[in-house]
């Protein structure tokens, strides 16, 4: 068991700031900061290749047999580490099938894709392990996605 400390800041300059490339979306400069301490008893990390076929990123059954809100689960960090400008988008979803259909933008739309990470983008979020996490991409790149899983103390 141990403690990790995540800290998030969100900042933007006021709209109309000079140079225009630095301008923010609000009329005033914005700064938000959040930090917390999380009790963790297991850490897993990997950097994976991606391609146009969806694959399991984190398998819930590796950690739990039954879910329990607030007491079982973990925190996931994911970052698209492909080169800026590469155009390699990486999708994170809950699907055990069909995620690639949505990535390919067929008419089928449902709740399977959670989000898309463009090159350089990241996310940090709790995962209650009520489903497996899947990844998919709009093409093939080696060493494309970095991910860490911090398992809540008491999960297993």
Comparing CB distances to other proteins, the nearer of 89 and 141 is 89
For position 56 contacting other proteins by CB under 8 A, the verdict is no
Could you give the angle at the alpha carbon of 118 between the alpha carbons of 6 and 136, nearest 5°? 95
- Both tokens of 62, joined, read 């590796």
Closest approach of other proteins to the CB of residue 100, in Å: 11
Distances (CA, A) of 138 to 78, 87, 102: 17, 8, 11
Shortest distance in whole angstroms from residue 145 CB to other proteins: 13
Specify the DSSP element, H or E, that contains 144.
Answer: strand 141-152
- E strands of 81-140, at which residues? 90-93, 113-117, 122-127, 133-137
Of 22 and 49, CB closest to other proteins? 22
Instruction: Kindly list the residues in this chain that would bind other proteins in the complex (CB under 8 A).
Output: 1-13, 15, 20-26, 30, 32, 34, 36-38, 40-43, 66-67, 69-70, 73, 77, 79, 89, 91-92, 94, 102-103, 105, 109-118, 120-128, 130-131, 138, 148, 150
């Amino acid at each position: 068991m141990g403690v990790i400390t995540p800290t998030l800041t969100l900042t933007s300059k006021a709209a109309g700031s000079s140079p225009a490339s630095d301008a923010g979306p609000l009329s005033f400069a914005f700064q938000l900061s959040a930090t917390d301490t999380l009790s963790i008893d297991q850490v897993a990390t990997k950097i994976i290749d991606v391609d146009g076929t969806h694959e399991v990123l984190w398998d819930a059954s590796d950690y739990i047999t039954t879910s329990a809100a607030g007491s079982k689960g973990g925190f996931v960090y994911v970052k698209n580490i492909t080169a800026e400008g590469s155009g390699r988008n990486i999708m994170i979803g809950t699907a055990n099938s069909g995620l690639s259909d949505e990535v390919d933008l067929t008419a089928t739309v449902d709740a399977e894709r959670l989000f898309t990470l463009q090159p350089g983008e990241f996310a940090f979020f709790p995962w209650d392990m009520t489903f497996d996490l899947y990844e998919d991409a709009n093409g093939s790149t080696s060493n494309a996605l970095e991910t860490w899983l911090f398992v809540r103390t008491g999960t297993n």
